[in-house]
Amino acid sequence: MKLLWCGDSTVAGRTGTEGNYTVAVDNDVKTATDLLNQRYGAGTVISVNAGVPGTTAPEWWFGTNLMTKNFAGVLTDNPDAGAVVLKLGINDAFSPYLGPDDFIYCMGQMAGAARSLGRQIILATPNPIDLAHNSILWELQHRVKWLAGQINAPLIDHWDAITRTFPNTWKSMLPDKVHPSNALYKMMGTVSFVTLENAIKGALT
């Protein structure tokens, strides 16, 4: 089965500090995919990491700014992806032009577009950040949870997993106050694995 992961730099797996970013070896996508293949056999799950650093939900939906294609175009480029994981929010929290309503509208549109093509949609909350914009991001992740409930979509809840597992230390696991360390990405991948296994195991066995 092929999984298509759509989102920002935390989907792409960026870690490090300004001017010294790399892709985390044990990023969320890789860790979750490896765990699924360990469980169901090598090559059973193939992941396409379509994460684009710096992007927002409206940019993904409409195909503007850093997006060379809109969400529909990304789906078209991956016709054999049976499920789509969608995680955004961090860059939306920094935008002076976008509000929570704009964000969740575009997330809902993308979820609907994926389903209209027969793809399973799986939503994910972002990781918290150690900046003032975290208060806005809290609202956005809350909206993602609401949307998942409204459309009955599986939810990978990175936000709650991080803040509950590391209530006093999660900030120290963000080298640049935004992007997770390799260790935190690996933990996030295990969270993704649990939700994904429950969501797609019918197609894997």
pLDDT digits (tens, 9 = 90+) for 120-158: 999 999 999 999 999 999 999 999 999 999 999 999 999
Taking each helix axis from N to C end, the angle separating 182-204 and 158-165, rounded to the nearest 10 degrees, works out to: 130
- State the CATH class of domain 2-204: alpha beta
Instruction: Examine the pLDDT at 180 and tell me if it is beyond 90.
Output: yes
Q: Would you state the structure tokens that stand for residue 63, as one six-digit string?
A: 């195909």
pLDDT digits (tens, 9 = 90+) for 3-54: 999 999 999 999 999 889 999 999 999 999 999 999 999 999 999 999 999 9
pLDDT digits (tens, 9 = 90+) for 92-119: 999 998 999 999 999 999 999 999 999 9
What sign for the dihedral angle of Cα 1, 188, 133, 20?
A: negative
Q: How high is the pLDDT of residue 53? A: 97
Angle, vertex CA 94, rays to CA 91 and CA 96, nearest 5: 125
Instruction: Examine the pLDDT at 205 and tell me if it is beyond 80.
Output: no
Q: How high is the pLDDT of residue 132? A: 97
Please give the DSSP secondary-structure letter assigned to residue 130: S
Instruction: State pTM to two decimals.
Output: 0.97
CA distance 174 to 182: 9
The domain ranges of the chain are: 2-204
Q: How high is the pLDDT of residue 191? A: 98
Q: How high is the pLDDT of residue 187? A: 98
Q: How high is the pLDDT of residue 178? A: 98
